[in-house]
């Protein structure tokens, strides 16, 4: 007695270049969101601070009300002048701008790709 087993596997169609670009752009969006959620930002004052938009707003409020300390990303307090607040706020804003520049440059790099290999070569 002979038993014959067959399987009818249907392989998905290969993705188009546009689909591959969309996948890479989603990877870029995910990486950007992860990096911007609660980044550690170098203040130039010898310590790092949390640098999300909410953190930026908190530092602006601290400066506005004349708080005389800054809490760093590790929870330590540092004495602070208005000038220190200026540096911290500027560092957070610059970090945010740098993230957007990185995102836009990578997006342009992905858009310019003409092959699957080129898309795969884009490092996110």
pTM of the model: 0.80
Instruction: Give the integer Cα–Cα distance in Å for 122 and 47.
Output: 32
Instruction: Give the integer Cα–Cα distance in Å for 62 and 96.
Output: 20
69 contacts: CB under 8 Å, gap ≥ 6: 77, 78, 79, 80
In the chain, at which residue ranges do the beta strands (DSSP E only) sit?
40-42, 48-50, 69-71, 77-79
Instruction: Give the integer Cα–Cα distance in Å for 75 and 108.
Output: 38
With contact defined as beta carbons under 8 Å apart, do 70 and 19 qualify? no
14-54 pLDDT, tens per residue?
899 999 999 999 999 999 999 999 899 999 999 999 999 99
50-108 pLDDT, tens per residue?
999 999 999 999 999 999 999 999 999 999 999 999 999 999 999 999 999 999 999 99
């Amino acid at each position: 007695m002979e038993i014959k087993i067959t399987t009818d596997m249907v392989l998905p169609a290969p993705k188009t270049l546009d689909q591959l670009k969309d996948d890479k752009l989603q990877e870029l969006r995910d990486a950007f969101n992860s990096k911007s959620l609660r980044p550690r930002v170098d203040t130039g004052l010898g310590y790092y601070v949390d640098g999300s938009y909410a953190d930026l707003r908190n530092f602006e409020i601290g400066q506005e009300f004349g708080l005389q300390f800054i809490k760093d990303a590790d929870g330590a307090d540092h004495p602070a002048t208005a000038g220190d607040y200026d540096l911290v706020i500027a560092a957070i804003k610059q970090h945010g701008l740098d993230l957007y520049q990185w995102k836009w440059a990578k997006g342009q790099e992905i858009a310019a790709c003409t092959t699957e290999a080129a898309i795969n070569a884009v490092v996110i």
